[in-house]
Amino acid sequence: MQPIRETLRHMLEFEQLFLAAIGAKIPDGTDPTSLTEIVDEWRQVEVGANEFASSVEAHDLHGRIDVPWLSFRPTTEQVLQQFVTHQGQHRSELAAQSTALGRSPGELD
């Protein structure tokens, strides 16, 4: 089982990569190590994600984009679906780890 901090770092890095791939303006990563640094960086990424979400039009989701690590050109919608699935998987893992440590994960929705 991966430590909670490492799972959070992985989720943050994944979010940065995927948001950059769909054209969201996010700050460059700083390789945070402490939970405080992870939270601080995630708050900055969230600003870019919210700006993107508030400006994207429905027709923009169907356009194909270049994603360097994929061998095909997915639509923005496909990238967002993968993003949600990935982050949801790790949120459930973190919830299970928190529960195993005797802590409630809180609201997950």
CATH of the domain at 54: 1.20.120.450
Residue 108 is assigned to a structural domain of this protein: no
Percent of the chain residues topping a pLDDT of 90: 13
pLDDT of residue 108: 60
In a domain, residue 88? The reply is yes
Tell me what pLDDT residue 75 has: 92
Q: What's the mean pLDDT in 26-51?
A: 85
Identify the residue with better confidence: 82 or 104: 82
Q: Could you list the residue range(s) of the whole structural domain that residue 50 is in?
A: 4-100
Residue 24 has pLDDT above 90, yes or no: no
Does 86 reside within a domain? yes
Other C-beta atoms within 10 Å of 92: how many?
A: 12
18 occurs within a structural domain: yes
Q: Tell me the one-letter amino acid at 26.
A: I
For the chain, what is the domain count?
1
Does any domain span residue 71? yes
Q: Report the alpha-carbon angle 6-69-54, nearest 5.
A: 75
Q: Is the pLDDT of residue 52 over 90?
A: no
Which residue bears the tokens 């995630």? 42
Is 91 a domain residue?
yes
**Considering the domain boundaries, does residue 56 fall inside one?**
yes
Record the pTM.
Answer: 0.80
- Is there a domain that residue 105 lies in? no
